[in-house]
């Protein structure tokens, strides 16, 4: 049978959005234990993509008043309030209280995009990092590049090192940077394909600020694994992720200058990949201290649902209907 192209695409999208029962059963068991009653509300969002929301991060290098006016007319409003401890005026992000996605822009060589669509919670690690002009900055696991783009909306690092070990994702990262950042600035950015676990030995105590947005068991995408065999394999390998995350953090600690700050983030709810990893670093590295980010948490609590009971140096954003941002775990440390 030959379907019209539009119908083919809709059928393909429907197939891609089928929930993987193996993953859901695994999450049900783990997160009921870890999150208690909050899991039911989170599950309602994660299993219903039609209620997901997308933020619009404006590109200061291709600013458009017309775009801002269009967003306002469509019911979007600025995400962040001035009460945040760190909020550069050049960082502008708009959100809507209703589900849906603003139309995406296609990549056009030589032309900058006006905005980046993202999960609003993914800006929190960037805000926690508090990058200032002239600082030496490292993004250890930078692809697809959204957080790197957001960092450059905030400040002009003296040196910006974007690293991505995976070859395919590294090419994706380069394309993202070329789509949002002017050529002279892109040319000043170091893009590498190093094993993040080795950066600390290669560049000891070089950076003022480091972001470790670690590979993790991405709860949103895993729930819609179309290949059951792949999903089962992912779940079997899930326990090994915390070991990789710990190695990446140890490497980042080595690469961090004394007095420098490090932010660790994931897009999973998993305690083993979040607070447990941070606890291991704090307990094993005598030169690393937690940094209080509770003021940032209070400032964003109107737009994000945060897990209660977390410690002052960490936040966990829980997706909820009407505030379908996250999952996003953020922790801040200092050397």
- Does 292 carry a binding-site annotation? no
Which run of H or of E encompasses 237?
Answer: helix 228-255
Q: What are phi and psi for residue 266, nearest 5 degrees?
A: -145, 165
- Residue 328 vs residues 70, 142, 179, 214, 316: alpha-carbon distances, Å: 29, 16, 25, 11, 6
So what's the pLDDT on residue 109?
Answer: 83
- Identified catalytic residue from 20, 51, 267, 285: 267
Catalytic residue list contains 20 = no
So what's the pLDDT on residue 318?
Answer: 98
Structure tokens belonging to residue 64:
């458009």
- Does 213 carry a binding-site annotation? yes
CB of 212 closer than 8 Å to CB of 262: yes
- HSE-CB at 6 with a 13 A cutoff on CA atoms is 0
- Residue 256 vs residues 134, 162, 174, 242, 289: alpha-carbon distances, Å: 16, 15, 24, 21, 13
- Does 146 carry a binding-site annotation? yes
So what's the pLDDT on residue 14?
Answer: 46
- Does 272 carry a binding-site annotation? no
- Does 143 carry a binding-site annotation? yes
- Does 28 carry a binding-site annotation? no
CB of 189 closer than 8 Å to CB of 162: yes
| Peptide bond connecting 327 to the previous residue in cis, omega within 30 degrees of 0 | yes
- Does 260 carry a binding-site annotation? no
CB of 53 closer than 8 Å to CB of 93: no
Chunk the chain into consecutive blocks of 10 residues (it has 335) and report each block's average pLDDT, rounded to whole numbers.
40 62 96 97 96 97 94 95 92 94 89 97 98 98 98 98 95 96 95 98 98 96 90 92 98 98 98 98 97 97 96 98 97 98
So what's the pLDDT on residue 136?
Answer: 98
So what's the pLDDT on residue 1?
Answer: 31
- HSE-CB at 163 with a 13 A cutoff on CA atoms is 26
Q: What domains lie within the chain, and their CATH numbers?
A: 21-49+118-334 (3.40.50.150)
- Does 215 carry a binding-site annotation? no
pTM of the model: 0.94
């Amino acid at each position: 049978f030959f379907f019209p192209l539009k119908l083919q695409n809709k059928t393909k999208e429907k197939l891609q959005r089928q929930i993987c029962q193996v993953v859901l059963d695994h999450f049900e068991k783990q997160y009921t234990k870890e999150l208690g009653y909050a899991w039911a509300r989170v599950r309602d969002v994660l299993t219903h993509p039609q209620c997901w929301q997308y933020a619009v991060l404006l590109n200061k290098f291709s600013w458009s008043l017309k775009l801002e006016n269009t967003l306002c007319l469509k019911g979007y409003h600025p995400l962040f309030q001035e009460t945040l401890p760190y909020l550069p005026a050049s960082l502008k992000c708009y959100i809507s209280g209703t589900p849906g996605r603003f139309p995406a822009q296609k990549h056009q060589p030589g032309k900058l995009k006006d905005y980046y669509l993202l999960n609003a919670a993914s800006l929190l690690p960037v805000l926690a990092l508090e990058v200032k002009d002239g600082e030496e900055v490292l993004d250890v696991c930078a692809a697809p590049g959204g957080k790197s783009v957001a960092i450059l909306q905030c400040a002009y690092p003296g040196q910006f090192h974007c690293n991505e070990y995976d070859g395919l994702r590294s090419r994706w990262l380069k394309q993202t940077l070329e789509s949002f950042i002017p050529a002279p600035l892109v040319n000043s950015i170091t893009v590498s394909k190093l094993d993040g676990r080795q950066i600390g030995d290669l560049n000891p105590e070089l950076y003022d600020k480091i972001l470790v947005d670690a590979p993790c068991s991405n709860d949103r995408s895993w729930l819609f694994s179309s290949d059951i065999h792949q999903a089962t394999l992912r779940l079997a390998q899930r326990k090994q992720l915390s070991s990789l995350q710990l190695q990446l953090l140890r490497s980042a600690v080595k690469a961090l200058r004394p007095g420098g700050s490090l932010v660790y983030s994931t897009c999973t709810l998993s305690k083993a990949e979040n607070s447990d990893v941070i606890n291991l670093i704090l307990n094993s590295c005598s030169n690393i201290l937690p940094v209080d980010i509770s003021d940032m948490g209070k400032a964003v609590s109107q737009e994000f649902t945060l897990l209660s009971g977390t410690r002052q140096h960490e936040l966990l954003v829980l997706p909820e209907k009407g505030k379908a941002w996250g999952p996003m775990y953020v922790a801040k440390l200092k050397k």
